[in-house]
């Protein structure tokens, strides 16, 4: 079975990426064989389409409500048919895998489409394309078109498999607002060396870029009555932070995990700013405060903390509840902290609560009541024995986020990377205001914190014939209260995308739907049960309307002989 053509075609228009992967396979054997289509895609993406065409007959995937599709499918599984098509493979990726039996000399074409909104992290967007054909491919190419009306500030490509030979397969063209990246490798360029048929194409192909930003109140783009507003202020003073690290040192953290945690904390200590205040609380079945209060991040205090971190040993149970309450208590009674500053608690744990209060729902309630909206709580779950659902709900209920730390060689880097994302808060209490009577279906428009290097995105529908769309942003910076104003000329903005071949259809409407679904699902995590049902129902309607495979929908793939398989969207919480 030979893959004779593999094309990845990606269009990025104003951060919204639309990727189509097409694989053409021929069975050169003289009996039927299994043709396999295996693709890894970013977890943040939603699959929107899949089809296979065997000798000209097309078998499309159909997106349905997950509950309905699943019950039908479970029946098929119990009759010994097949398993799901999508599974999480690593920290950033999930894998779509489908196979079909094709007759001798038959051809099959697989086509998968997915979409995602690129998220700005540490000052750049990253488009990740995983390349692993597992054989030499006669026609292989990755074709990326980027169109950013704000202008492209910088652009770089990176391949984990790049050799001198493969560098020749890459061409880049760039203008003020557009970029075209073509990676087209011949069979010869794909070989590791001419003797061995070893494959070079195995790894990540990454495009990183950022856009130019002139307007202080961000940038507005409009297509067919839908707008998106990007806001990422620069060069602002950084808020001092008051941060308490709450570190699990129970028995299960022993060995590699506690070592990696020590390594990461030593690096993070170096990154504290002199105006920051910090402390450590470590816990197993007992909760130990390194110092009884927060200390300023002077050279002396940082050195003393580093010495303490070196001594961290792991044994005993896990009392998450009392550890978090101790952190809240320390922030409550803290004195002499800078008046305008950001207080946060960063929890790192690798397990379930086994000491003190063990009921995760009770812990969530107690912690939320104690924090009472005053501090942000970030929860890092180390490995797969944690209840990620519990950590995620607790973080989202308290103005933070949760992240899973994967147990592999780069775990210390993952921890550091997370800290860097939250290390530089530059705005608080951000409100993005639009004329109420002329905007509908607005996505989330107020945000507790804004970290340097990230981006706030708000989208909605302009309901009546507006000529000018005025926006007003209110926020607190370290030095003052800000009000930023901007107005967008609707007709002019619509013109920008009129004659661009880089764009695909109503991409801002699809971007709006993608963002809305993500926010509804996130809101549902920390909502009460009735609200949760309503939020999920809304998200389901949109997923079906815009045909996205989300955690609430399934794509039913019907193969020849009427055999059905399901593609479900896996989530970090399982």
Burial of 495-530, coded b for 16+ CB within 10 Å and e otherwise, reads ebbeeeebbeeebbbbbbbbbbbbebbbbbbbbeee
Nearest alpha-carbon partner for 8 in 100, 165, 139: 139
Q: What is the mean pLDDT of residues 259-266?
A: 95
Give the C-alpha separation, 323 to 221, whole Å. 46
pLDDT band of 193, cuts 50, 70, 90: low
Nearest alpha-carbon partner for 158 in 146, 166, 150: 166
pLDDT band of 498, cuts 50, 70, 90: confident
In which order are the strands placed within the sheet that holds 125-131?
Answer: 125-131, 203-211, 152-159
Q: pLDDT for 397-456, tens place per residue?
A: 999 999 999 998 899 999 999 999 999 999 999 999 999 899 999 999 999 999 999 999
Q: Are 220 and 471 in contact (CB under 8 A)?
A: yes
Give the C-alpha separation, 42 to 12, whole Å. 15
356: its two tokens: 């003190």
Q: Is the pLDDT confidence value at 270 over 80? A: yes
Q: Are 287 and 249 in contact (CB under 8 A)?
A: no
Helix (H) or strand (E) holding 519, with range, is helix 507-525
Q: Is the pLDDT confidence value at 195 over 70? A: no
Q: pLDDT for 352-373, tens place per residue?
A: 999 999 999 999 999 999 999 9
Nearest alpha-carbon partner for 390 in 356, 415, 353: 353
Phi first, then psi: give them for residue 228, nearest 5 degrees.
-130, 140
* Radius of gyration of the CA atoms of the chain, in A: 25
Q: Which of 7-11, 541-545, 563-567 has the least mean pLDDT? A: 563-567
Q: Which of 36-50, 244-258, 556-570 has the least mean pLDDT? A: 556-570
Q: How much of the chain, in percent, has pLDDT values that exceed 70?
A: 95
Q: Is the pLDDT confidence value at 81 over 80? A: no
Q: What is the mean pLDDT of residues 199-207?
A: 84
Q: Are 550 and 569 in contact (CB under 8 A)?
A: yes
Helix (H) or strand (E) holding 241, with range, is strand 241-248
pTM of model > 0.75: yes
Q: What average pLDDT is seen over the chain?
A: 92
pLDDT band of 543, cuts 50, 70, 90: very high
Q: What is the pLDDT of residue 64?
A: 92
Residue keyed to tokens 């002329």:
438
**Domains of the chain (ranges, CATH numbers):** 2-212+555-559 (2.60.40), 241-423 (3.40.50.410)
For residue 124, how many other CB atoms are within 10 A of its CB? 17
Three-state SS letters, 280-327: EEEECCCEEECCCCCEECCHHHHHHHHHHHHCCCCCCCCCHHHHHHHH
């Amino acid at each position: 079975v030979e893959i004779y053509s593999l094309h990845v075609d990606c269009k990025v228009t104003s951060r919204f990426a639309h990727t189509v992967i097409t694989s053409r396979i021929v069975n050169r054997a003289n009996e039927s064989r299994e043709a396999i289509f295996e693709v890894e895609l970013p977890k943040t993406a939603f699959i929107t389409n899949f089809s296979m065409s065997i000798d000209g007959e097309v078998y499309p995937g159909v997106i349905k409500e997950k509950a309905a599709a699943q019950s039908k499918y479970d029946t098929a599984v119990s009759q010994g048919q097949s398993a799901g098509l999508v599974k999480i493979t690593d920290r950033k990726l999930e894998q779509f895998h489908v196979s079909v039996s094709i007759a001798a000399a038959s051809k099959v074409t697989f086509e998968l489409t997915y979409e995602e909104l690129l998220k700005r992290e540490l000052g750049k967007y990253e488009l990740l394309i995983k390349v692993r054909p597992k054989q030499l491919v006669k026609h292989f190419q990755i074709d990326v078109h980027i169109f950013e009306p704000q202008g492209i500030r910088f652009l770089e490509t990176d391949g984990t498999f790049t050799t001198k030979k493969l560098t020749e397969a890459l061409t880049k063209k760039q203008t003020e607002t557009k970029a075209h990246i073509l990676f087209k490798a011949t069979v010869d360029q794909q070989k590791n060396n001419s003797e061995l048929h070893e494959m070079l194409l195995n790894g990540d192909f990454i495009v990183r870029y950022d856009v130019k930003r002139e307007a202080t109140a961000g940038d507005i783009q409009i297509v067919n009555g839908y707008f998106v507003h990007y806001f990422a202020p620069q060069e602002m003073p950084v808020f001092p932070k008051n941060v308490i690290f709450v570190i699990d040192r129970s028995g299960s953290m022993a060995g590699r995990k506690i070592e990696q945690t020590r390594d990461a904390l030593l690096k993070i200590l170096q990154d504290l700013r002199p105006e920051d205040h910090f402390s450590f609380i470590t816990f197993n079945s007992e909760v130990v405060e390194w110092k009884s209060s927060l200390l300023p991040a002077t050279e002396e205090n940082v050195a003393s903390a580093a010495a303490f971190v070196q001594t961290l040993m792991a044994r005993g149970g896990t009392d998450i509840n009392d550890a978090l309450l101790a952190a809240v208590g320390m922030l409550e009674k803290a004195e002499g902290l800078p008046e305008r500053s950001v207080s946060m608690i960063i929890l790192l744990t690798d397990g379930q609560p086994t000491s003190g209060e063990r009921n995760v729902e009770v812990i969530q309630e107690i912690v939320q009541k104690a924090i009472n909206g005053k501090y942000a709580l970030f929860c890092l779950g180390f490995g797969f024995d944690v209840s990620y659902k519990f950590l995620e709900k607790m973080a989202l209920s308290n103005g933070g986020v949760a992240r899973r730390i994967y147990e592999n060689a780069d775990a210390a880097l993952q921890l550091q990377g997370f800290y860097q994302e939250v290390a530089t808060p530059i705005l608080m209490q951000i409100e993005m205001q639009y004329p109420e009577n002329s905007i509908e279906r607005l996505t989330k428009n107020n945000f507790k914190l804004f970290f340097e290097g990230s981006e706030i995105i708000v989208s909605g529908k302009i309901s009546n014939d507006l000529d000018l769309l005025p926006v007003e942003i209110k926020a607190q910076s370290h030095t003052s209260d800000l009000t930023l104003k901007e107005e967008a000329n609707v007709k002019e903005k619509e013109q920008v995308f009129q004659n661009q071949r880089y764009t695909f259809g109503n991409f801002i409407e699809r971007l709006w739907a993608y963002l809305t679904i993500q926010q509804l699902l996130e809101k549902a995590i920390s909502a009460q049960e009735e609200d949760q049902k309503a939020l999920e129902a809304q998200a389901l309607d949109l997923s079906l309307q815009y045909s996205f495979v989300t955690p609430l929908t399934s794509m039913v793939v019907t193969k020849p002989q009427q055999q059905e398989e399901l593609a479900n969207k896996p989530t970090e919480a399982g």
